[in-house]
Structure 1
Amino acid sequence: MSRAARTRAFTLIELLVVVAVIGILISVLVPALASARASAQLQVCKSNIRQLSVAMLSRASDFDGELSTGLWSNDSRKSYGPLDTHGWVADLVNADYGKPGEMLCPTHPATTTQDLLDDRIDDSPWKQITPQERDELVQRGMNTNYTLSWYVAYTDMRDRFDPYLDPKRTNDVIGPLHEKRLGKAPAYAVPLIGTGRTDTDNAGTINGEFQEVVKGLTDGPTEGWNADAGRYAKQDYSDWGPAHGGGGAIFSSNKNHDRKTGNIGFADGHVASFDDTFNVDQPDQPGRDGEFAPVLESTPYGQRWVYKDDNMQEKVFGGSVMTGEWFNK
């Protein structure tokens, strides 16, 4: 064998070293690439929410201050018209402000909303919508996997001191949010739309096909009648939650995932990210629960609902938009 041939040959040890180096590089690069991808997806989600929030604010400029016609649902008890002509999603599509169906959260396992499910679209409907008509609406961009704030749909209770009213019935609320109805509430803290929590059991069928879905609307002031204050309690944002990042797996009956971060858009057009950092079922233990839910605490002012996830208590308004009361005390 020539000397040149001998110098070009690899020994087994050299080959193993090369393989080991490649393995080390892969072990370093793969997590870094995954982290970069997750960060990019988080930013895409924030951009989507910002565009949807700004679209509603733009609509308000063109429609005498009205951000939308409320909840996007075919349920005549909860919305103000059929979902092909009414509701925030239809508003944006029909007036060419945007197509929510083309601005979906990229990491959420759900790709649609519960209001398109077979058993919901014909529940107390404004009108019958056939499967073909539903498909056509989705093709036009009428779809979303974000969850609307109760404020946008209903503004406030018609009478906050009447415990027998229903926060999900149009007869018992003020109506869709209007700029003039923001009153003294700070626009930078009033939420418009956010990342729906990731529930593995929040699902149903669309055209007979099983689908995971998000809630169409946060629950509003439904955390019980606040006896200490004599009024409805703080807003319940537990239908919002994490859909991004990885913070250690959550093992529960309906939240088997490791998502830790969710996004919320506000009435001044900005978007903020919040981390799921608290477990309301085990408040004395470290951990999280996969949603942004309040916990009932005793304060010098009586019992109050308080948010412990990240800094939501101070940064996300939960009181009356018409009076500006935060309900933090």
Structure 2
Amino acid sequence: MQDYQTKKIKPMKMKLLILIVLLLSGSYISNAQAQWKFHVAFEDATSAKDTIWFIWDTTAVFYGIDTALGEGNPNMNYNDFNVYTLTWDSYPDYDTTKVVAHPYDYSFGSTIEAINYELPITITWDSALLHADWLPPTPVGWVNYARIDNDYFFLYNNNGLAHQYDMTLSDSVTAPYEGNTDPWAWQDWVHFPLDVFLIQDPTLGVPNNPYNLNNVLKSYPNPFEKCTNLELYLEKKSFVELSVFDFQGKKIRSFINQTLNSGNHTLKWNGLDQAGKPCKPGPYFIYLNINGTSMQSINLIKY
């Protein structure tokens, strides 16, 4: 009798174990990080349209081409209006693409080129996706730094301190705007190349302080590959802290931590961290503090 019960119980235990495994598997699948897909659409004066897609996906890689997610050569017709960027890979393996896919560990910073277009250009996106409830809770929980940057938006923008167009504040922009009589604004080179930054920035609480707009921090070239110049102007003698942070808010290098005289100051950053190791390609932030007050921040892209 006991042998019968033992034989009967073992299959029941096995079924229970299988059920528990299935439940746990289902729980894992339901909690898996969903894909985030964000479009930046372009339409020129002739109604020709094209789109760049930015994708966060757990299967994506930073280096390499995620063909399963649409990255790679789009086989463009070079007689038509096209926008495109480059995949993140080292020479000679990078390629043109209309899709940029990253794992969630990396932010987006892409330079977009265009061919065969007529001004004005209307750019549209869905700012609601910047607050998507399936975005990971860390480091921020939403894309709180979304900017368009080029020569045109340096002058004509909705964020005068940053000299960029803040995508978190609207869903579209037309450049040049209707009625703009500035001849410079209608030059093609003013609009492309164009940079798009989509970042979860945990240090965004550091405000741009309008206390003294004569204290100006600039960087060139930007984006950069090996070296960039940081140029700072001080109206008066001040204690200056100038540091670089990665997109997770980690300080990777301190450039200046001392009192400087008034006037222009220029230094070079060779893309190395405090330990002298090369920094990975991606977005970085330069923060300027003057006399203990946060004055300005600028973003850099390292290739």
Same fold by TM-score, threshold 0.5 exceeded?
no
The higher relative CO (CA closer than 8 Å, separation ≥ 6) is in 1
Q: Under a length normalisation based on structure 2, what TM-score does the superposition of the two structures give? A: 0.31
Q: Which has the higher helix share?
A: 1
